[in-house]
Structure 1
Amino acid sequence: MTNEELITLVNELLQQGKELEWLEFKQGDATDAQRLGKYISGLANAANYNNVPFGYLVFGIKDETLDIVGTNYNYLNKKEKGSELDFYIRRNLSPSVHFQHFVCDYDG
């Protein structure tokens, strides 16, 4: 996805007006790989249950106010037990869940 497409998507998600079962906003980070894996799995299950095509976990947005505050969370630089975080989560989610990671520059 292009950055413009990501900004449009973030704006559409903000239009929901609040977090939903399949939509989670985080100001900072997921704190650890286990918790991030649980978020991904839970959001995927909730999206399926609610008959929406995707679940979303968006960093850099206050969940109480939906203010865009940005984040320094860098998923691609995270490691877990000596492995890339992405590999670790994909290997340990069971059943396997397809997910993608995107970086959006939202007004700097």
Structure 2
Amino acid sequence: MIKNVHQYYVYILTNMPNGTLYIGMTNNLERRILEHKKGSVEGFAKKYGLKTLIYFEVHQNVNDAIRREKQLKKWKRQWKIDLVEKDNSDWNDLASDWYS
């Protein structure tokens, strides 16, 4: 029997390099980032214009993703910046070519 494979994403958005950071979790990263980019969901990210995807990680278990999101939200700002800059030192939008 083939088991369904689920993926859950923890992600970080910003409005500019070294700007405001937002950490979120979703089961559909492309859809969720598009919602952020369009500003279609009210909340913190929309209020501060957080539309640039600068980091994400994939989890197979929803509880692991929730735990990781909560962990990152408790981190000091510099730790979050270090995490982003480890693989994305220029703070590039990782979703810049997802939508045409």
Length-normalised TM-score, structure 2: 0.31
Higher share in strand = 2
Higher RCO (C-alpha 8 Å, min separation 6): 2
